[in-house]
Amino acid sequence: MKSIKIFLVMAVFASIAFADALADISVSAVPEFDRNNNDVVSADALYDTLSGADTSIMFTDFVPTRGWEYILVRDAITGTGADSAYYYLQVDCKDAKRGNVLYTANIDTIDGAAGVANIIPFGNTLIGTAFDIRLVGISGSTGFQAIVNRAMLYRRRPRTIFKAWN
């Protein structure tokens, strides 16, 4: 029994003596946020008005920067009947040569007037070289009018932080 304890103690000391030093420790996935000035739809109120089955184009021929995840942030929708309106956040995926639409994807259904942030999965479920992003009204009450206020496209990416411990 005594020899087993001595062996275990020597094994622990040997593993400590010959182990690599703790030079760098990485902390992954610290989000870095950015809003490029080219990615602002409108920082002002009253950007566009939807009524019924109408469309509000947010971006045309948008080309995302590789390595970033994009989030469309929209302020509250105002107007008559805006609280009972329903919208699709819709993206057209286009090819590289002629800008032809390959397919259209509905990213999310937005109901109610409150502001919302939606992740747009470029390179994940949306494949293409350029994209059109828009809101499409799919219902509303009689006399329905929805005013889209302040919409911006934020982007984020994971940053790895390396810290050298002394």
Give the CATH number for residue 155.
2.60.120
How far is residue 117's CA from residue 75's CA, in Å, rounded to a whole number? 9
Residue pointed to by tokens 């040997």: 14
What tokens were used for 6? 């001595």
Q: What is the pLDDT of residues 121-139, one digit of tens each?
A: 998 889 999 998 888 877 6
How far is residue 106's CA from residue 92's CA, in Å, rounded to a whole number? 9
Look at residue 25 in the predicted model and tell me its pLDDT. Answer: 44
Contacts of 107 (CB under 8 A, 6+ apart): 88, 89, 90, 91, 118, 120, 121
Count of domains for the chain: 1
Is the CB of residue 146 less than 8 Å from the CB of residue 79?
yes
Q: SS3 of 155, please?
A: strand
Q: Whole-model pTM above 0.85?
A: no
What tokens were used for 47? 């950007």
Is the CB of residue 43 less than 8 Å from the CB of residue 87?
no
Q: What is the pLDDT of residues 2-52, one digit of tens each?
A: 788 887 777 777 666 665 554 444 445 677 777 665 555 655 555 566 666
| Domain span at 137 | 2-164
How far is residue 87's CA from residue 114's CA, in Å, rounded to a whole number? 12
Question: What's the order of all strands across the beta sheet hosting 101-111?
Answer: 55-62, 130-139, 86-94, 101-111
Burial class (CB in 10 A: 0-12, 13-18, 19+), 33: exposed
Residue pointed to by tokens 């009018």: 145
Q: What is the pLDDT of residues 100-114, one digit of tens each?
A: 999 999 988 877 777
Phi, psi of 129 (to 5 degrees): -110, -20
